[in-house]
Structure 1
Amino acid sequence: MQAQHDTPGTAPVAVVTGSDSGIGRATAVRLAEAGMDIGITWHRDREGARRTADEVRATGRRAVVGHLDLTQLPDAAEVIDQLADELGRLDVLVNNAGTGTMTPFLELDHDTVRQVLDVDLVGPFLCGQRAARRMIQQGSGGRIVNVTSVHEHQPRVGAAPYCAAKGGLGLLTQVMALELAEHGITVNAVAPGEIATPMTGQTDTDVTDESRPGVPLGRPGDAREVAAVIAFLAGPDASYVTGASWVVDGGMLRMGPQAGSHLTDDAWRRP
């Protein structure tokens, strides 16, 4: 990936999907602070995307906004090229847009399963293809970061299509890493645990005030803590890191995410 530049129009460019709130917004701002111009996508929250763009511009970087509805595939993935065209290039893709469901396996209908798989797996696949093709054409390498979940690694009751999609995205990340390495493109996954975002019903939450007895660090994560890991993987210091899954979960996986989210006291800490 090319070195970062400070002159407007020559900076590295990152596209962060689903960056109208939560982890996506925190990532967009963090990458802007690292000197990147940012392509922002939104699905339902146009105003949220505008606020993200304002935060990016406040760092002195450029921001452009595009609509992305990953239930409308394959055409929806065209936004990757549109944003790259507007910003002049593409160096980093963060596949962050996602959805989920909490429905028992026996009650799931086909439309719900298909929607979750499209948004969480097929969408990142197609967006990743478009980004990689552009990076190869540019000839200067690049970075792709797929935001998965602790459920890339372990299951959760009621989340069958979500777990299937995130597990698939984790293995897709590894295949992409192998196939794109010769082009200087690294591909990694970031697997968050419970993060205080609108998706988990925690908007503007001070995570230090929240108690999570079943999580070793005792609290949910902050979106900026996930963004920091994504920014590392998207930057020059991670040039020899590819095909890995970086878990950001406060130790939840050591407990098992089902226990980590359901334990109601600290008795497990004592022998």
Structure 2
Amino acid sequence: MEAPGHDGTAHYPRTAVVTGADRGIGKATAIALAGAGFDVGFTWHDDEAGAADTAMQIGELGRRSASLWLDTTDLPSCAPAVNTLAKELGGLGVFVNNVGVGLTASVLNTSLEDWRQILDTNLNGAFMCLQEAARLLVAGGSGGRIVAVTSVHAQQPRFGFGAYCASKFGLDGLLRVMAVELSGHGITVNAVAPGEIATHLHATETRHPHDIPRPGIPLGHAGTAAEIAAVIAFLASPGAGYVTGASWAVDGGMSQMGAQASSLLPDDSWRQASQRGTSNGP
């Protein structure tokens, strides 16, 4: 196959691999890419029924799917998982690294075990997956796309997010270097940085996320997984052929509120990192 031509047309295989697509942003991304004409391989971790539903929805869109279970803290298993899915699809054109977990705990109260879990999941495991995807794309000789889900906290710190911010800052830096190193192969590398995305609403919540007021966000509400997936699908399209090394904040303007937010905070409650624990998130 040819590398991308001067007309911007992409000639890489219409196949994509997405990590963590059993729910949330990963699931929405796998479905969006299938809707854009890609066969999609994906990994899953927590929700086997959700993974089956992702595969069903890909099939309903007339595309092939392949899936396997992956824990990205098991570093030696990451590259083989990407390779296996790419082989099952017959090649690789787009890779989306989505897996990520969060931890709310101050640096003083973060254990080494928790630190390692966050870094292994969000950065070290991501590196292994991204490296293998890059090697496959280079070997394919047809260009391609790499997109990783980071966070607005890949560039802005937050109290109680020491391990999380370290992992996302690191991932953002890795992507920027990869964008430079892979440019000669016709491979673009970009980040999508979500803000507050309503992927974990309580089961009793019937309102659409856009109908739940969030005064601290300029657009006034949280985003949806589908809104993140739409940006990822664009970055995987021919229309984004001249975009690389960029970080796309998809946050309703939240990241622009720094100085103004600090002047309007009514008390010191922001200093509390009381909800300690891990959770899935961008």
Task: Tell me the TM-score normalised to structure 2 length.
Answer: 0.86
Q: Structure 1 vs Structure 2: percent identity of aligned residues?
A: 55
Deviations 1:119-140 (A, max 9, x none): 1111111111111111111110
Counterparts of 1:227-242 in structure 2 under 5 Å?
227-242=229-244
CA contact (8 A) 1:11 1:37 kept: no
Give 2:174's aligned residue.
172
2:112 is aligned with what amino acid? H
Distance 1:80 1:204 in 2: 37
Give 2:217's aligned residue.
215
Match of 2:78 among 69, 76, 79: 76
1:156 is aligned with what amino acid? R
Counterparts of 1:15-54 in structure 2 under 5 Å?
15-54=17-56
Give 2:107's aligned residue.
105
Distance 2:113 2:244 in 1: 34
Residue 214 of structure 1: how far off its partner (Å): 0.4
Give 1:267's aligned residue.
none
CA contact (8 A) 1:105 1:158 kept: yes
The change in CA–CA distance for 1:241 and 1:4 in structure 2 (over 3 A counts) is: closer
Give 2:89's aligned residue.
87
Partner SS state of residue 221, structure 1: coil
Give 1:150's aligned residue.
152
Distance 2:58 2:206 in 1: 19
CA contact (8 A) 2:13 2:92 kept: no
Task: Tell me the TM-score normalised to structure 1 length.
Answer: 0.89
CA contact (8 A) 1:56 1:63 kept: yes
Instruction: State the Cα RMSD in Å.
Output: 2.3
Deviations 1:94-151 (A, max 9, x none): 0001101001111100010011011111111111111111111111011000100000
**Matched residues, number:** 258
CA contact (8 A) 1:214 1:263 kept: no
CA contact (8 A) 1:150 1:257 kept: no
Give 1:193's aligned residue.
195
Distance 2:226 2:210 in 1: 14
Distance 2:189 2:180 in 1: 9
2:103 is aligned with what amino acid? T
Residue 4 of structure 1: how far off its partner (Å): 7.4
Larger relative CO (CA 8 A, sep 6+): 1 or 2?
A: 2
Partner SS state of residue 247, structure 1: strand
Counterparts of 1:249-268 in structure 2 under 5 Å?
249-256=251-258, 259=261
Residue 75 of structure 1: how far off its partner (Å): 2.3
Partner SS state of residue 196, structure 1: coil
Which 5+ residue runs of structure 1 have no aligned equivalent? Answer: 265-271
Residue 251 of structure 1: how far off its partner (Å): 0.4
Deviations 1:213-232 (A, max 9, x none): 00000000011111111011
The change in CA–CA distance for 1:94 and 1:263 in structure 2 (over 3 A counts) is: farther
Give 1:269's aligned residue.
none
Residue 74 of structure 1: how far off its partner (Å): 2.4
Give 2:227's aligned residue.
225
Match of 1:245 among 247, 258, 262: 247
2:243 is aligned with what amino acid? V
Distance 1:256 1:47 in 2: 40
Partner SS state of residue 51, structure 2: helix
Give 1:182's aligned residue.
184
Partner SS state of residue 132, structure 1: helix
CA contact (8 A) 1:190 1:246 kept: yes
Distance 2:207 2:109 in 1: 32
1:235 is aligned with what amino acid? S
Partner SS state of residue 230, structure 1: helix
CA contact (8 A) 2:17 2:96 kept: yes
